[in-house]
Structure 1
């Protein structure tokens, strides 16, 4: 910036980084997510000014999910459906990792020896206690009740032990050990491809039309069958959420992301929360490559949220 004095001489230039902190903070609160990330990259002072910012990205309609494509390297592709734009991001925390749950901008991520919550936009990270076994080995599906910074957050991770037994591992905020709950199946359950939470109960949906419910309070299991709505089924109890299958294919995300026919993709779903109707549970999907597979990619749906947490933030209360 440069201005002229009354005698015609130019005053010394003042860099943008010298803007008052209060003014910077006001600017931050008017920015959308991508602009906020650019703002934070200008200099140390601007980054500090954005520490308490959540920005306007937190009030974007949550139904417009963003999609993050990642793989076995640092380079990730972020797709914004509102603007139909792609962005490239380097996220080393996701290198060799897998997302198994997504809610309100937070991802639950696992690797061979680690399990943690992660916000890809702010790089906030909260490590969880050691999991009983390697989630990658058993094909786990996860769900959590609320943001990991909430004192009432509970995590549930489910998997097949064998054809007749399910295992659910629970972890409440502040706990340092997982609570394992086994369940002998009275019906044959397919692969779990979706999970959600509503009023004290976890719901786990299989690849057909079966749902397993688990009440966190009394630790009781319930089984449900999804049926088509007909005059004969009008009196049947309805699930307290909607279900979205084949979301990736229906929205042609493979084409929009610029993927090849030979690329295989595994997606992690999420829960779309709404104040006006039932929450929507978006299923996980596995899209096989057509012909010879060129590359295996992973993807996750997420809300465009930005969270800052203290450096010493932990799972313990």
Structure 2
């Protein structure tokens, strides 16, 4: 029987294999040769979408490497230049895409595994403090809407900057919001035309895209099967202190002089909608030597045209 080189496999077969791979295997598959990379052009590592979010560490790194931790605890070192340095911060993570902000107001969607980018119009501010964001659907969707909310622990005003697909400028929406009605925003989600923003306790505020109205609520967390029928799909299960509860500091091997801030995400797992909150974990030692950033992400592989625009 004649032996054939792996590089001679039919492209149709290669494409079928690529579609069945997870993100790490897909990245390795694509690096074999040009033919294998071309054959996997439509592969998206969708197999990972049915699993819990993974954790990506980025920011200050002398080796210019990011660290990806799977939901099973496996660690992978990945070179992602766009996520190295202190000037880049992730504001949102959902649908396998990150929303990245860079000092000066630059903001863009980014798939860290394919390096795909979609640039957005500059935000009306050049620095971020307590900003949290989310978006309604993948950035390639025609009905994608982005919302960036700002609410410090001392301000009586809540401000949302919103951008709809195809728009060339952000719209600004403000409302008076006593601290008793909502603390500092730590989580965000979108459902059926409505952005929901959560504080660290039990309050949430909703912003309705079409009417541009605000609503303030107290979050009643109950098992899904015990909720009234009209509440199904409208409430999310919040997962606060996810970094701590999973012992991510030990899994990452962080020393006690390292602090880390995380960006949360919105995920659907086992037919349950969940919101993983943003967190700030201070160094155990009083004198910290470095500060890292992390983001919860569903690891997917997306490619867009180099000319893809918002």
Distance in 2 of aligned mates of 1:247 and 1:107: 19
Q: 2:84 aligns with which of 95, 103, 108?
A: 95
Distance in 1 of aligned mates of 2:40 and 2:207: 40
Q: How much has 1:226 moved relative to structure 2?
A: 3.0
Structure exhibiting the larger radius of gyration computed from Cα positions: 1
Question: CA deviation digits over 1:9-45, x for unaligned, max 9?
Answer: xxxxx65334332232222123222111011111222
Distance in 1 of aligned mates of 2:40 and 2:123: 34
Aligned residue number for residue 252 of structure 2? 257
Aligned residue number for residue 130 of structure 2? 139
Q: 1:216 aligns with which of 201, 209, 219?
A: 209
Q: 1:38 aligns with which of 28, 38, 60?
A: 28
For the residue of structure 2 that corresponds to 1:273, the secondary structure is: strand
Distance in 2 of aligned mates of 1:312 and 1:301: 28
Map residues 1-317 of structure 1 onto 2, 5 A cutoff: 3=2, 15-54=5-44, 57-60=45-48, 62-73=50-61, 74-82=64-72, 84-96=73-85, 97-113=88-104, 114-136=106-128, 138-160=129-151, 163-188=155-180, 189-226=182-219, 240-274=235-269, 276-277=271-272, 279-291=273-285, 292-315=287-310
Q: How much has 1:80 moved relative to structure 2?
A: 0.9
Structure 2 runs not aligned, ≥5 long? none
Whether contact under 8 Å (1:63, 1:272) holds in the other structure is no
Whether contact under 8 Å (1:62, 1:272) holds in the other structure is no
Moved over 4 A (4+): none
Whether contact under 8 Å (1:193, 1:283) holds in the other structure is yes
Deviates most, 264-273 or 37-46: 37-46
Task: Calculate the TM-score normalised by the size of structure 1.
Answer: 0.87
Distance in 1 of aligned mates of 2:236 and 2:130: 24
Whether contact under 8 Å (1:198, 1:240) holds in the other structure is no
Task: Calculate the TM-score normalised by the size of structure 2.
Answer: 0.89
Question: CA deviation digits over 1:122-177, x for unaligned, max 9?
Answer: 111111111111242x3210010111111111000010376111110000011110
Whether contact under 8 Å (2:56, 2:67) holds in the other structure is yes
Task: Give the CA RMSD over aligned residues.
Answer: 2.5
Distance in 2 of aligned mates of 1:298 and 1:187: 27
Q: How much has 1:3 moved relative to structure 2?
A: 4.1
Distance in 2 of aligned mates of 1:257 and 1:270: 19
Structure 1 runs not aligned, ≥5 long? 5-13
Distance in 1 of aligned mates of 2:13 and 2:211: 51
Q: How much has 1:305 moved relative to structure 2?
A: 1.2
Q: How many residues align?
A: 298
Deviates most, 73-82 or 250-259: 73-82
For the residue of structure 2 that corresponds to 1:180, the secondary structure is: strand
